[in-house]
């Protein structure tokens, strides 16, 4: 009988720009996503986070929703530009922004819900991007992030679970290589007239790691002795299977894809250096850690934050890698050499359910990083055509329910049979919300949000399935 540990905690996750709205209320400054959304053609339906789920004004409603679903914890992110509207360490602090999150944390705790707070979920204050290039600046950015982190630790001493950055891969690759996310820099001149996909993403990734290290050092030295608690970064990546498991080059490529997605950040934190496969392909385009930077980054996780959604079959490529290649010189597909398909289609072209891959990746990470405590900080799915269905049909989201069921049971199997050290699980997402470049056309929520009629919330079938699911798996003894 598979199970989960008795101290296991579960809940739902969201991000500030995707749900809060109120982009100029109470002194909030603009973020790079406000600027990016204002550019024609960047967001699928031409929308933005101006209103989103109106969660800034509905914290009580969201807490009531969490309570009704039995949620033990809630992962949300702070909007940096609500706290320091211009972002920098010498810029004014906005007390109204701090007060909002202080009250929200107090209200969550009063409701018996444990907050997991993400400091940065992609919405950099726009002023820092304009002032010195934002994430591209190796000197200024880590210091400004450290300052912002210190302000938040001081303001929220009751928070015991901190996350520095959400998915640095997305900030680096989608923001500075593909150009699909803010600030949209890329070598593709049809998308943007500035950017260098061959160098910038690797610089950004390095700077995010150093900024993470600085924020963790401050927490451990100045706050943890008094407050206790834990802090980590959240990394994302797909599970992989060789396209042809009898071809050693495909086997190697499947491993290399995880290294380019996850170990890019995981290896410096847990092993003290970048993966050899990245050094080999990128050469001097991959920055080198100074001794001070290495010391900041190495061993800077108290737990492993894992965002995971899907899997790929991976086929090696011949020849020389392109300068803008960020995957590790390979190609991905949902079909293998025999024509087997990984899973059913969803609304997202990149996402197909494959719970066995989730278990495999949990084992891969645990073996590589000496079995750290893993919190699954995001996991969930979209449903093909969901946004075009009538509400009654959307609420009967059996596809999502089955996704959660299979993935959570794969997690329990990994704990019971593979010895994985698991601490918690957060379903993505509590609410249908602004899905970045996909706008509002894609829904990930366990709760339907009626954008046309005042952002009213309606829990879907999947929302009500998670409490009994975890009750059946979490050990009582």
- Active-site residue, selected from the candidate residues 20, 127, 146, 167: 167
- Active-site residue, selected from the candidate residues 127, 200, 293, 378: 378
| Token pair recorded at residue 79 | 């909007």
Q: Look at residue 405 and give its three-state secondary structure.
A: helix
Cis peptide leading into residue 183 (ω within 30°): yes
Distances in whole angstroms, Cα of residue 5 to Cα of each of 75, 285, 367, 413, 475:
20, 43, 19, 12, 6
Strands (E), 87-150: 114-120
Distances in whole angstroms, Cα of residue 475 to Cα of each of 56, 347, 376:
36, 35, 18
**Are 76 and 123 in contact, with CB atoms under 8 Å apart?**
no
Residue 101's contacts (CB-CB under 8 Å, 6 or more residues apart) are 78, 82, 83, 152, 155, 156
| Token pair recorded at residue 210 | 């150093």
Q: Which long-range contacts (CB under 8 A, 24 or more apart) does 452-458 make?
A: 455/51, 455/53, 455/54, 455/58, 457/53, 457/61, 457/65, 457/431, 458/391, 458/395
- Rounded CA gap, 271 and 234, in Å? 17
Label the pairing between strands 330-333 and 456-459. Answer: unpaired
| Residue 443: alpha-carbon gap to chain centroid | 16
Cα atoms found within 13 Å of the Cα of residue 272, Cβ hemisphere only: 3
Q: Which residue, 422, 420, 428, is CA-closest to 404? A: 428
**Are 204 and 120 in contact, with CB atoms under 8 Å apart?**
no
Distances in whole angstroms, Cα of residue 313 to Cα of each of 190, 316, 340, 345, 358:
29, 10, 10, 15, 14
Look at phi and psi of residue 397 and say left if phi exceeds 0, alpha if psi is from -120 to 50, else beta. Answer: beta
- Rounded CA gap, 418 and 298, in Å? 26
DSSP secondary structure letter of residue 261:
I
- Rounded CA gap, 99 and 26, in Å? 10
| Token pair recorded at residue 197 | 């996909």
Is there a catalytic annotation at residue 167? yes
**Catalytic annotation, residues:** 167, 378
């Amino acid at each position: 009988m598979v199970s989960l540990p008795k101290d296991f905690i579960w809940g739902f996750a969201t991000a500030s720009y995707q749900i809060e709205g109120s982009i100029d209320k109470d002194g909030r400054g603009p973020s790079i996503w406000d600027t990016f959304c204002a550019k024609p053609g960047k967001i699928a339906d031409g929308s933005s986070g101006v209103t989103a789920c109106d969660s800034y004004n509905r914290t009580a409603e969201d807490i009531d929703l969490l309570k009704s679903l039995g949620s033990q914890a809630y992962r949300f992110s702070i909007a940096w530009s609500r706290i320091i509207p211009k972002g920098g360490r010498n810029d004014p602090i906005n007390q109204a922004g701090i007060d909002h999150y202080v009250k929200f944390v107090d209200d969550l705790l009063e409701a018996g819900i444990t907050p997991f707070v993400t400091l940065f979920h992609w919405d950099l204050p726009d002023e820092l991007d304009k002032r010195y290039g934002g994430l591209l600046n190796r000197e200024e950015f880590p210091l400004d992030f450290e300052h912002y982190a210190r302000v938040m630790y001081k303001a929220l001493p009751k928070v015991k679970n901190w996350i520095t950055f959400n998915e640095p891969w997305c900030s680096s690759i989608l923001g500075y290589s593909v150009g699909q996310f803010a600030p949209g820099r890329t070598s593709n001149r049809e998308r943007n007239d500035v950017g260098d996909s061959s160098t910038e993403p690797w610089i950004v990734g390095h700077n995010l790691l150093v900024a993470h290290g600085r924020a963790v050092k401050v927490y451990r030295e100045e706050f943890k002795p008094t407050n206790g608690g834990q802090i980590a970064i959240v990394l994302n990546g797909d599970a992989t299977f060789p396209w042809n498991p009898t071809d050693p080059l495909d086997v190697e490529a499947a491993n290399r894809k995880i290294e380019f997605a996850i170990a890019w950040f995981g290896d410096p934190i847990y092993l003290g250096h970048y993966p050899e496969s990245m050094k080999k392909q990128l050469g001097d385009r991959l920055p080198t850690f100074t001794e001070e930077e290495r010391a900041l980054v190495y061993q800077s996780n108290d737990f492993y934050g894992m965002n995971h959604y899907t899997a790929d079959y991976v086929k090696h490529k011949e020849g020389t890698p392109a300068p803008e290649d960020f995957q590790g010189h390979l190609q991905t597909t949902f079909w293998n050499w025999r024509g087997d398909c990984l899973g059913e289609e969803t609304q997202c072209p990149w996402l197909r359910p494959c719970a066995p891959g989730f278990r495999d990746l949990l084992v891969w990470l645990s073996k590589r990083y000496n079995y750290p405590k893993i919190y699954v900080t995001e996991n969930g799915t979209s449903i093909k055509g969901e946004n075009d269905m009538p509400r009654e049909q959307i609420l009967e989201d059996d596809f999502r329910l089955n996704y959660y069921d299979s993935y959570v049971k794969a997690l329990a199997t990994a704990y019971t049979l593979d010895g994985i050290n698991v601490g918690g699980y957060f379903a993505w997402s509590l609410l249908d919300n602004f899905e970045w470049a996909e706008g509002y056309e894609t829904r990930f929520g366990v709760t339907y949000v009626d954008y046309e009629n005042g952002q009213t919330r309606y829990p879907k079938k999947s929302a009500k399935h998670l409490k009994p699911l975890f009750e059946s798996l979490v050990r009582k003894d």
